[in-house]
Every structure is written in structure tokens, then in C-alpha cells.
Amino acid sequence: MIYIKVALGERAYPIHIGEDLIHQEALFAPYIDGTSAAIVTNSTIEPLYGAQLRATLKRAGKRVQTIVLPDGEVHKNWKTLNQIFDELLGEHADRKVTLVALGGGVIGDMTGFAAACYMRGVPFIQVPTTLLSQVDSSIGGKTGINHPLGKNMIGVFYQPQAVIADIRTLDMLPKRECASGLAEIIKTAAIADPKFFSWIESNINALNQRNALALAYAVKSSCELKAQIVAADERETGLRAILNFGHTFGHAIEAGLGYGQWLHGEAVGCGMVMASDLSVRLGLLEEATRERLMRLISAAHLPTCAPSLGIDRYLKLMQVDKKANSGTIQFILLRKIGDALITGAPDADVRATLMASV
């Protein structure tokens, strides 16, 4: 089993990565102080792993409640969040309850937000079951829900007690979900580690085929890099914003098409292509590097052409992005692999990128 620490002082917590972790009651027990736990999952994941995790927590001596939410990004909203509160209150869950997020990024984000709000804050554990959530969304304490005008616009920073990533859950992952997770792995390497980026290029076929050793190394490396960045800038006041490479364009795609039409990683993959195009237009990035990044994104079976939403629609959606400053859109761009920056861009260049990307 791999152990990584997210060094946040008194809010520090571990990331455990390995096989069959869902069955290890001794692993969960130290992170649940009280006698009760509430598993929050969705209608797809519950039949796969719900009974296994319930049995594990019961062996650890915990009283277990299960809250099953509808599956999909389209349900990441106030109505579904309130279902968590309804069921917790219906079972008289007190402030000693620990919420356990069993699922992908949507479940992790909503469970964390619910934990931050319920009785003004209860503990929670992340048990991510998708590649994207194991390498990205479960780490760093970003929680929240979507708004029709923008993705993840309502939420708080709230750190988990632990992240327990069982890579055996990736065996059941649909191909699109696997590719979606690869987008976040590529993103992390592109902004922070040129050697890891080269390793991904050499091993992309093994990752596509879900080779266990390749996946374990990719998850470990991504988690280590994200943990370092989060520890340096927990609340995204500076450095941590580079983790949003591809997200300004990508979030606009998700909101513009309607949440759930493209998976998050698909939108981020295309968004990275768009951001690298803008980087070239601003004279920051060499064309050869843009082409190298696009080849890898394509090899991961991710889209490289953006949907046609209309340039003005894209601009309006990107102005709602959390990084926007006084209405000015801020982009995460590249100077080279492993060297990202946060900057604005002239409207003409942004429009040229949008025109070229569709």
C-alpha cells in the first residue's frame, strides 16, 4: 500500500493507495471517532461496492447508514445536496457522525460540502472509485455544487480525514470514465513535471489498457504532485490555481452543453488543447510543444475539437469562472511542459483560439 501525506498542519491527512482497501476495517477505523458512519454514494456505485463498504464499517464497530443519490453531473445541485441533509436528519444523525464519500468526483464534492455544512461541520472520508477522483478531486478539500451559470460556483474548502483509493475499483470503470481520469493525470504532469509527462507518453497504451502497475504509478505520481501543490496553497490564492490548466475553457464547455453531456475530463482534455493554442498565440509556448500535448490527449481517447457554442457564449461563460478578476478572464497557460502561469489574454487572441478550436 502507498502512503502519501497532505501536509496541512493540524488539517493534515493521509492518502492511502492500494488494492482491496475497501475491505480493510483497520484502515477505516482510525478516521471515524464516533460510533456511526453515513455512506454517501450513487445508484451506479452502490450495487458494486455499497455492501462491501457497509460490511467493513460494521466490522469496525460502526453503525452504518447509506444515502443513495442519483448518478451524474446533472444532479450536482441544491436539490440533491438537500437529500443528504434530509436523510441524515431523518436518521437523527448527530455531530459525531462521519460521512463517507463512496464514488467519483460528484459524490466526493457533494459529500464534502454536506459534511462542511451539517451541524456546522462533521468529519468525512473520501473513498474515490473513479480514476479522475483518485488522482484529483478527492484531494485538496474543494467541495461544492454546480450552478446553471457556472460549474462548482457554490462550495467551501473542507479537508477530509483521509483519502482511501482502492485501485481495484478501476477495473469496473467505463472507457469514457477512464479517459476522463487520464485527462487530469496529463494535466498535472503538463503543469508540474516534465519527466512524468514523458513517462505518460511512453506508457499511454498501458494506461489505456488499465495495466495495474502503470495505473498504480500514475495515481501515485499524480497524488504526490497535487499534495505538494495543495500543501503550498490550500485555498488557491496563487500557486494552486495552476491545477486549473484546461479548466477555464473546459468548464465553459460543460456549462454550455449542459452538465453531463461531456464528462469533466473530456472537457478538460479539450480545454488543455485550447489553452495551449492560446499559449502559442501569445508567444509563450512553442508550436511543437502544443502539437506534442495534443497528440497525447488524442492518444488518451479525449476530444481535441471543441463543441460549437458561439464565441460570445464561450466568453460569457468564462467570465463566470472563479479565477476571473473584476470581469477579466484569467487563464492557466504554458511556457513549456512543467512550467505554467496565470495570466489574462487579449480579447482578439482568445477569440482567435475559440474560432480555431471548433
Which residues participate in catalysis according to the annotation? 120, 142, 184, 226, 236, 240, 244, 247, 251, 264
- pLDDT confidence bin for 237, thresholds 50/70/90: confident
Look up residue 44 and give its three cell numbers. Answer: 451506479
pLDDT at 316 over 90: yes
pLDDT band for position 111 (50/70/90)?
Answer: very high
Summary mean pLDDT of the chain: 96
> According to the model, what pLDDT value does residue 327 have?
74
The residue type of 306 is: A
Amino acid at 248: T
pLDDT, one tens digit per residue, over 252-288 is 999 999 999 999 999 999 999 999 999 999 999 999 9
For residue 71, name the pLDDT band (cuts at 50, 70, 90): very high
Q: What stretch of H or E contains 330?
A: none
Mean pLDDT (whole number) for 185-198: 98
What is the mean predicted confidence (pLDDT) over 307-328? Answer: 88
- What local confidence, expressed as pLDDT, does residue 246 receive? 98
pLDDT at residue number 300: 98
Please say if the pLDDT value at position 320 is more than 90: no
Cβ-contact 162, 123 below 8 angstroms: no
Q: What is the pTM of this model?
A: 0.94
Nearest residue to 332 (alpha-carbon basis) of 190, 136, 234: 190
Residue closest to 128 by CA, chosen among 260, 232, 40, 34:
40
| Bridge-based pairing state of the strands 145-147 and 63-69 | unpaired
pLDDT of 323-336, one tens digit each? 777 678 999 999 99
What pLDDT is attached to residue 304? 98
Domain 2-173 fold is: Rossmann fold (3.40.50)
C-alpha cell at 329: 478572464
Q: What is the pLDDT of residue 321?
A: 81
Query: Does the structure show a pLDDT above 90 at 81?
Result: yes
Query: Side chain identity at 87, as an amino acid letter?
Result: E
The full DSSP string for 310-346 is -HHHHHHHHTTSTT-BTTB--EEEEEETTEEEEE---
pLDDT higher than 90, residue 67: yes
Residue with cell 488543447: 273
**Please, which residues have CB within 8 angstroms of residue 86's CB and are 6 or more apart in sequence?**
none
List the domain boundaries for the chain. 2-173, 176-357
Q: Which residues pair with 341 in a beta bridge?
A: 333
Q: What is the reported pLDDT for 189?
A: 98
Domain 176-357 has CATH 1.20.1090.10: yes
Answer yes or no: is pLDDT of 243 > 80.
Answer: yes
